[in-house]
Amino acid sequence: MNAAQAHRAASAEQAEMGEKSPFLARPRLGERAAELLIQAVALVAVAAVLLIIVFVGREALPVLTSAEVHREVTPQAMLLPRSVGGESVFAWQPVSELPTFNVVPLFVGSLKVTLIALFFAVPLSVLGAIYVAEYAGRVARELIKPAIELLAGVPSVVVGFLALVVLAGWTQHAFGTEHRLNALVAGIGLAFAICPVVFSVSEDALRAVPASYRAAALALGSSRSQVLLGVVVPAASPGIAAAIALGFGRAIGETMIVVLASGNAALLDAGVGRSTRTITATIAQELGEVVFGSPHYHVLFALGALLFLCTFAANFAGERIVAGMRRRMGVSG
């Protein structure tokens, strides 16, 4: 049966059955059902995110509102130093006769480790991405790209263990750090974890720059490095900024590597050679056995909410940078 015949047959049947042909309505119904199903699945994802936000928020809220929690810890006490023997200290001592829940050392610890990770990962990954996107031949690209992306598949507990066993010894020998496990070791370990993200997104951004930009710059007599630095990298910079923001979000939320490699002592200082305790490590180490509904429990959830806000802000900032630069490029281009 060819198409014309089929059409005729269908028309005849439709005519027989009248206006509301089930022959035509049935596939539409199936399509509609499939559409609804996919919509429902998408909504489940949205609902899950919303429920998590609601749950974390609800468990964190008593830190601000509950009088019972305030008998042990207030928001001010979580942020301001406590005076001990004339010295003001920022202390995280949740299991104590006089528990103190100062989150400043944890927040600074998270930030410190994350910045160290970015310090190592960003130049490496962005330069790597520039090489792969602009200079590497086909063979080199097809070797390097999967290799770096494979790094993303290495479980963070493995990276953390390597940092703990091998890297910690090396850095102490090389830099004579005060503590064997410290912010530097954890930061370098984290850099391994975020390299693939920063590399992939940057590389995509660089390759997305239209060939016509390069051609135009070359036609005006630019050298290869001038094309790269003057045209391609600026054009790809929103993507690179997004890559860095994503790397930041991944680094500040990473747990296993910092639990293993940072030593987890809640010290408040700028030294990279000293042990440090991050928000994620604190939650991982303490939520397991915290008394349900206790001030300590709510403070841990407040830390979780804080972390959530940080990653959210990082992603939001990334998006804004991207949007802003696109607009500017649109105007100038």
Partner 1 sequence: MHSRRSIAFSILALVACTRSEAPAPSGAAPTPDKTALAVRGSDTMVILGQRWAEAYMKKTPGLAIQVAGGGSGTGIAALINGTTDICQASRPMKPKEKDDVKAKRGADVIETRVAIDALAVYVNAKNPLKELALPTLSKIYRGEVKSWKDVGGTDHAIVLYGRENNSGTYGYFKEHVLENKDFAAATQTLAGTAAVVGAVKGDEFGIGYGGIAYLEGIRALAVKKDDASPAIAPSLETAQKGTYPLSRFLFFYTAGKPTGAAETFIGWVTGPEGQKVIDEVGYYPLPK
CA-nearest of 290, 269, 308 to 72 is 290
Compute the distance between CA of residue 236 and CA of residue 252 in angstroms, rounded to an integer: 25
Q: For 179, list phi and psi in degrees, rounded to 5.
A: -105, 145
Q: Does residue 287 touch partner 1 according to CB under 8 A?
A: yes
| Residue 68 lies near partner 1 (rule: CB under 8 A) | yes
Among 44, 285, 326, 329, binds partner 1 (CB under 8 A): 285
The b/e string for 188-197 (b: 16+ C-beta within 10 A; e otherwise) is bbbbbbbbbb
Q: With binding defined as CB under 8 A, does residue 294 bind partner 1?
A: yes
Q: Is 55 in the site for partner 1 (CB under 8 A)?
A: yes
Q: Which is nearer to partner 1, 130 or 290 (CB)?
A: 290
Q: In this chain, which of 130, 197, 266, 322 binds partner 1, going by CB under 8 A?
A: 266
> At its nearest, how many Å lie between partner 1 and the CB of residue 279?
15
Shortest approach of partner 1 to residue 317 CB, angstroms?
Answer: 28
**Given the rule CB under 8 A, which of 206-214, 220-228, 290-298, 305-313 is the region that contacts partner 1?**
290-298
CA atoms within a 13 Å half-sphere pointing along the CA-CB vector of 308: 16
- Work out whether 263 is an interface residue with partner 1 (CB under 8 A): yes
Q: Does residue 199 bind partner 1 (CB under 8 A)?
A: no
DSSP string, 184-250: HHHHHHHHHHHHHHHHHHHHHHHHTS-HHHHHHHHHTT--HHHHIIIIIHHHHHHHHHHHHHHHHHH
Subset of 123-182 contacting partner 1 (CB under 8 A): 164-165, 168-169, 172, 178-181
* Span from 137-145, 148-156, 243-251, 291-299 in contact with partner 1 (CB under 8 A): 291-299
Contact between 110 and partner 1 (CB under 8 A)? no
The pair of structure tokens assigned to 157 is: 């507990």
Q: CB–CB of 78/103 below 8 Å?
A: yes
DSSP H or E segment with residue 67 = helix 67-70
Say which residues have a Cβ less than 8 Å from residue 201's Cβ, sequence separation at least 6. 239, 240, 242, 243, 246
Binding to partner 1 by residue 61, rule CB under 8 A? no
**Is residue 33 part of the contact set for partner 1 (CB under 8 A)?**
no
**CA 147/CA 125 separation, integer angstroms:** 13
- For β-strands 92-93 and 100-101, DSSP reports them as antiparallel
Question: Which one of the spans 29-37, 89-97, 218-226, 314-322 is the region binding partner 1 (CB under 8 A)?
Answer: 89-97
Q: Is 240 in the site for partner 1 (CB under 8 A)?
A: no
Instruction: Provide the minimum distance between the beta carbon of 323 and partner 1 in the complex, in angstroms, as a whole number.
Output: 34
CA dist 139 → 145, 162, 187, 303 (Å): 10, 30, 32, 47
Nearest CB to partner 1, comparing residues 152 and 305:
305
Q: Residue 318 has which token pair?
A: 């990334």
Comparison of 121 and 190: residue with beta carbon closer to partner 1: 190
Pick the closer one to partner 1 by CB: 141 or 180: 180
Among 94, 187, 304, 318, binds partner 1 (CB under 8 A): 94
Determine contact, residues 244/198, Cβ cutoff 8 Å: yes
Choose, by CB under 8 A, the member of 125, 171, 202, 264 that binds partner 1: 264
42 binds partner 1 (CB under 8 A): no
Give the footprint of partner 1 on this chain (CB under 8 A).
Answer: 51-52, 55, 58-59, 68, 72, 89, 91-97, 105, 164-165, 168-169, 172, 178-181, 259-260, 263-267, 274-275, 277, 285-295
